[in-house]
Amino acid sequence: MTPLGREIAATIRADGPMRLDRYMALCLGHPIHGYYATRDPFGARGDFVTAPEISQMFGELIGLWSAEVWRSMGSPARFSLVELGPGRGTLMADLLRAGRIAPGFLDAADVVLVETSPTLREAQAKRLGGGAAPLRWVPTVEEALDGAGPAIVASNEFFDALPIRQFVRTGRGWRERLVGTTDAGVLTSGLSAEAPTDIDLPDAPEGAVREVCAQALDVAARIAAHVAAHGGAGLTIDYGYGAGSGDTFQAMKAHGFVDPLENPGEADLTAHVDFAALAAATARAGAAAMKLLPQADFLERLGLAARAQRLAATASPAQRDAIRAAAARLTDRSPRAMGALFKALAFGDPRLGPLPGFEPEALRP
């Protein structure tokens, strides 16, 4: 068992079974043994690959989207450009490079990176240091927006890593998934003896699974309230569903799925994002939430095909093949592929109207 696994098992022996959200938070964020505190998980040598690492086109299109939103805001002289969970800084680097086409955009931007991992902060500083826009790092969304004026807040694969609670509908009603230990001290999962009393869940058939991420709703609502009051917009891209639920809790290590309880602190733990709940939270906070889009539709509406063609025009044959393969991977609409599984949700100041690439149908405050 890993050092963190032994620590968790000792806590369970002392305090009883642990809620899944606490287990997930410890595995990812423990200051000594946590997954993100100890490694750079991205790329071929890591545990997974994200869209910005697949192609520069992804971040460039987000940059063009951000510049257009800034113009629609009236091109404010100062605004906060915030990224949640910036990884290696790849998306932000590509975003800022593309943003140069909008006169004044970079001069107006205060770049704020919401990151808790010392390892990843170091990687971001190497990638982004010496750029045209000033940089600062903060650990929370609250600190990023405290005292800020207009803001554009973007994220890619951020909400999926926030801790969830999981509930199972049994013949005796809803029961919560907990992490415990076997007689041999091995981590295992089971259900609570009693129904949860601090959350209301709709009736469902026996065997149904519901996942709730209170932190995701809080973060989305905080951003939405800020942009509704001060101007701006939020954009999040992640894998998830528009409606419905199920058991989506998973762990990934070396680009393959593993048992989430097997090696605490040494595998990435995630769950699919409930975009319907996120959109509703942003609307309740005063923002206008745009209609959810598959990633493929969003990128194509922003001009991915044209950007790929332009890059390929001056590339070598091998580079052209790589560009086309990357564009195809980002927009693959197979059920489990990125273009369909990943979704784009945008929300913003209701006075802005439809945000770039999105349809006017929206959840409004």
Complete domains list, the chain, with CATH: 3-27+166-211 (no CATH), 36-163+213-363 (3.40.50.12710)
What is the structure's pLDDT at 39? 60
Would you place residue 229 in the very low, low, confident or very high pLDDT band (cuts 50, 70, 90)?
Answer: very high
pLDDT at 43 > cutoff 70: no
Per residue in 177-219, pLDDT (tens digit) is 999 999 999 999 999 999 999 999 999 999 999 999 999 999 9
pLDDT at 303 > cutoff 60: yes
Q: Which residues contact 266 (CB under 8 A, 6 or more apart)?
A: 2, 35, 253
Give me the mean pLDDT over the 48-60 stretch: 92
pLDDT at 136 > cutoff 70: yes
Report the helix count and the strand count for the chain, using DSSP H and E. Answer: 15, 18
What is the structure's pLDDT at 132? 66
Q: Report the percent of the chain where pLDDT is more than 90.
A: 85
Which pair of tokens denotes residue 268? 């990435």
Give me the mean pLDDT over the 138-146 stretch: 97
Give me the mean pLDDT over the 136-145 stretch: 97
| Contact between residue 252 and residue 260 where contact means Cβ atoms under 8 Å apart | no
Q: Which residues contact 95 (CB under 8 A, 6 or more apart)?
A: 59, 60, 62, 63, 66, 81, 83, 154
| Contact between residue 155 and residue 82 where contact means Cβ atoms under 8 Å apart | no
Give me the mean pLDDT over the 328-340 stretch: 95
Per residue in 58-72, pLDDT (tens digit) is 999 999 999 999 999
Tell the residue number behind the tokens 């405050």, with chain if given. 365
Per residue in 71-89, pLDDT (tens digit) is 999 999 999 999 999 999 9
